[in-house]
Structure 1
Amino acid sequence: MFLRYPDDPYDRIWDSDLIKRQNYLVGVAPGTERISTTRNIDIETREYPPVKVMQTAVVGTKGVLSYRLNLEDFPANARAYAYFAEIEDLGQNESRKFKLKQPYIADYSNAVVNIAENANGSYTLYEPSYMNVTLEFVLSFSFVMTPDSTRGPLLNALEISKYVQIASKTDKQDTTVVNAFRLLSAQSSQTNEGDPCVPTPWEWVNCSTTTPPRITKIILSRRNVKGEIPSELSNMEALTELWLDGNLLTGQLPDMSKLINLKIVHLENNKLTGRLPSDMGSLPSLQALFIQNNSFSGEIPAGLISKKIIFNYDGNAELHRGKKKHFKMVLGISIGVLVILLILFLVSLVLLLNTRRKASKKKREEKGISGRTNSKPGYSFLRGGNLMDENTTCYITLSELKEATDNFSKKIGKGSFGSVYYGKMRDGKEIAVKSMNESSCHGNQQFVNEVALLSRIHHRNLVPLIGYCEEECQHILVYEYMHNGTLRDHIHESFKKQKLDWLARLRIAEDAAKGLEYLHTGCNPSIIHRDIKTGNILLDINMRAKVSDFGLSRLAEEDLTHISSIARGTVGYLDPEYYASQQLTEKSDVYSFGVVLLELIAGKKPVSSEDYSDEMNIVHWARSLTHKGDAMSIIDPSLEGNAKTESIWRVVEIAMQCVEQHGASRPRMQEIILAIQDAIKIEKGTENKLKSSSSFSGSSSSKPHSSRKTLLTSFLEIESPDVSNGCLPSAR
């Protein structure tokens, strides 16, 4: 257990004297007490130990503080420095004075350490000059209190330095490029010096674990970077992601033909000019390229048009997809083809009008959509149908839906696939009517096929599809009406949020998880939702949760737009791995559900400028707190005193696993359900016996041991690598 960079800008290793390392610490005398404080220590210069080191100390409770150090590996001319700062509250008549004593060496006259608390409440560092002594093979020394002192000696830190050369530095070509970027960005140049990867990466680069380290990612979005992109960028063969969007970059793009591992490039919202490099279309790993809102010109490389990548080039007025050759010939051929197509279209339209009704009838009979063997394709409620029938997906006429919804005037919501209207049928059944955004007279076969598939999916935690309509080039789905609206409303609207206690949130999470688990494992083929969010989790009249809009991503993609390479989902919930690779798996739904769990825990929105700083969302915010050991700060204040910490902690753990960066590290839905059920058991076990000592109240006594790191006591600084020369401590 030790402290080093970034707590110490010089990357000195400050180690606790509680840890007896073989090479240097032989022993420490008994009769000592470890103390610590959270108050500020006034460190005047950076060369002094970090504040975290000076906030801990050992005190000789019997008037003596003794050490015996093995200094075999240290140079003979090394210096030893002791650091003292009073971190206890001394009474008005109390004092702490002590002297250094070494065996066989006379006392240092007048070398008395006298430290005391300042009047303003801060603490001043005291460094005695008499510690500049030549070290021996074994150094024994003691601090002994003087006769006029009321408190025993105190030691915050002892520094003995040596330098160790590192095995390798970051690749020189990579270092040249990032240093060029550092000079172009005033913000970055102030905080990053020395080697970009060793001993720890700069805040805006990611590095590989190879020898030497290679830079794999540059993240300089909106960093006020000015100037031209360094031409040496072409030498960064290990680079996989380049984020330079939202800056003031000018000039042309450099050669990128060697960047064979480059996957994601963000250059949008700059002032870049010139032609796109012809080799850009042949980059083998490229998955996403964003160059919108620049001043690029000329022809887009053919490879970029033909590759199945995410490519956005809007806002470049002089950039076009192909050269304007043989314009007259192309125009003549186009007109001829258009005339032929028009004739064929008119003939097809006549045939279509004659056969459409028969074809529609046959399709519904084949797919069994009516839900009854004696139903006709034109089955409707006007002909005796009843929405209360079990497992029934009916064809509902457009006129019936207009009547039920008062001509689609009762709008209750809008999603990514269309508007939703409230309706009430003649038999009294309340319905939610979803009208697809992109109305089309084409793709009816695919639409009917998808409805047939969705009609066979039945689970108590999925919103049932009870009807559909395809008239006047409209595609309409009819669902059971959920009286208590969306989970999003209950979390983020204050008047509803007050009614949603922790146990209710757990039950909702369990219901939604079961519905999602059924889609993943209970359907053949399995269904990936692709848009899990609190807005797609609905609550019925009994506050039981049901997942909605399952299958709509696929329906909208195949039925209306055929195959799409654009990642579908909602900002804040979208799986970053799916976004980058376009490889959709069940683990993408797991990531989105993890965000839902964090919303239930924290009561915050996934993305909100009010709750988080720039470039932050609920996942980054929660991850930063858990990494600091302060996971309990995530919890919604409205749950304070009304929920068991152990129960909340169980859900925090599984939620953070769900939002792991890589899908392979995320749990399956079955594991998530078990974790939520564990939390429910913990909460219900003491539901009526809440005690202030165990309920969440912000006190450290109620927090699990793993949620907070214990402050280290006193420190012994052993190795001091030279950061400016790229040095790192040798392996022990």
Structure 2
Amino acid sequence: MEQKGIEEGRWDFFLGRETFSLRGNQHTQEFFEGSGRGLEGLIGLPFRHIKRVFFRYNTIGIYLLCSSVLTNFPMAIIPIFQPHALLEWKLIREKDDVYDRIWKPLTRSSWLSINSSLVSSSFSTSDYKLPGIVMATAATPANESESWRISLGIDDDPSQKLYMYMHFAEVEDLKGQIREFTISVNDDESYAGPLTPGYLFSVTVYSKYSVSGSTTNKLSFSLERTNRSTLPPIINAMEVYMIKEFAQSSTQQNDVDAIKTVKSGYAVSRNWQGDPCLPMEYQWDGLTCSHNTSPAIISLNLSSSNLSGNILTSFLSLKSLQNLDLSYNNLTGPVPDFFADFPSLKTLNLTGNNLTGSVPQAVTDKFKDGTLSGRTMFYFMQVLEKIQIFVREKPKVFSFFHFHFFLSEDSTFYYSIFVVISLATTIETVTERPKEGPLKSGNCEFTYSEVVGITNNFNRPIGRGGFGEVYLGTLADDTQVAVKVHSPSSNQGPKAFRAEAKLLTRVHHKNLVRLIGYCDDSTNMVLIYEYMSNGNLQQKLSAREAADVLNWKQRLQIAVDAAHGLEYLHNGCKPPIVHRDMKSSNILLTESLQAKIADFGMSRDLQSLSTDPVGTPGYFDPECQSTGNLNEKSDVYSFGIVLLELITGRRAIIPGGIHIAGWVSPMIERGDIRSIVDPRLQGDFNTNSAWKAVEIALACVASTGMQRPDMSHVVVDLKECLETEMASRRIQRVGGHSIGSGNFLENVPLVLSTEVAPHAR
């Protein structure tokens, strides 16, 4: 059986550093364009749309390939540049490579680098789309008389299956000389060749079948000049991929079709691509799947996802769905009766929408017959009064409980709902807080005497802000809260207090601090929030102990969280809300370091926005200061300053009165990323991720609002940045894959496999 292949410029397969999923029983597969935490997370880089890929395989290969994902080795892409050329150590990506592959330069003392002053367009117009700047350089052995051997270290599992793609192009005018050589892998001399690369024309040698180092940790290949060759071999670039097999088959097709219909029907902005449930650690954001032989979606959380329109019937196709959260969107129309037809549904959350009509009788009957029992809940919540019904266990005695509520703050109508409840102690109904009785988290208005009791007479101060002193408190159900008490000397008066309280009763997002309640009588103004045990971001960035210093991944995750919260204010609220005082001290951290935006006293919606200059020096938009044009892009500027603080570990105004954006500019011009990033990290970060974060920050602090991205784009870019860092961490855990050369390598037997190799048309 043929074991080698040489194709010239006709391929439909690029195989860079991308990842794709292969669904069984289909001869034609597609690359997926990206995912929130899905396949994109395997490599941590953005996906791009490319052409379809075709595979040739035997019947054994079909079986083995059904549940496979191919991914490249991190160090296996090796374009080689001149040691002292302008391009030395420059990573080639994105604008130079339409498939976003990262080409890493590599030199060795035993190699010579040669290059052409011409860059042929034929490289980038071929189906491989090889960057001309990469293929215009090549390496050749310094000692022309020696055998030239290159090795790939396999430190994780020497038996893992690999596919190699070697790219060749002549970069010199040979003037009658001959460059011809053969290629062998693990000393298999019949692997490929003899090969004579064309001048500025790419030739690619690939492995049709997987190879592996089954007895050692090295995969080696040799380039040997033929007897008639007058010049030594060359190589321009190389790509190596390994196979990762899944023990499970792909997600059930009905679930895949249903969730894709949901995505398109609501124009879901999350980067959902690939298999929804696999790989297990990279399933789509907001999904939970069963991980049996054939995974199925069992939980779907689309809360605060800016969904609009009627509730789609496509949800009904998710037959294994147990939990569905559609809260805090802009859904309209009636509550569908098909919710009664879900065979497995246990939890349904429709809070914070604009639904109309009555709850269908069939849905109500789900309570009556005990289907929605145990730890099940089916609840509706009026935005201000927060009426909730929790069904704790199967009712034993039934009655009808009738109450009225509005569906939204601005709704001009209301309707009645009948819900079956138990006369026994199996139901907890939370309505408007009574004036007397024990306090529970979720209530709204408190008396001042209750506030005194919550704070134990204000004996535990935990901070101070522009509004006043902040105290730690405890509700009757042991929920810890932060109690912010207005100070008479505060520059934020009753207007700011009521603006914040009013705003927080109508905005709900996981990355906004939740308002538990408030006190507003003739002499006292108090806001009660959920307690954030890790304080604010500014404090965290000022940590002196090494154990308290945020690592790079944590910083990026905090940036993503804060960006999500700000994006929700701008795009998820109607009308949009401008925070107007975005800064690191207004980003609070939970025990698990989840970031939430706080302090909305200066926030305004765009319909009532004044042009009064507000904000904090160092964070305030200079364009707004000069023009009075305050809008969402002013928040984007402030967020960019926060991002620079996260990157550098420095304050917005550095001692000496230097603004952080001005401080970082000279180092950016020098390309000195390690001097930019917080030195307390001791270089423990992915440089590509760091540069991407710096680029995002600089875009946010552009001098004019028109030049700045909106927060939706910032969220996407930061998630890509985070995935890049996470991918590099996974690579480190798998083990370093090294490349070397020389004549000292051990010979490793070639292992042919029935695994399919990708083959282009």
Report TM bin, short chain. 0.3 to 0.5
More strand by share: 2
Compare the two structures and name the one with the higher helix fraction. 1
Of structures 1 and 2, the larger Rg is shown by 1
Q: TM-score, normalised by structure 2?
A: 0.40
Work out which structure has the larger RCO, using CA pairs closer than 8 Å and 6 or more positions apart in sequence: 2
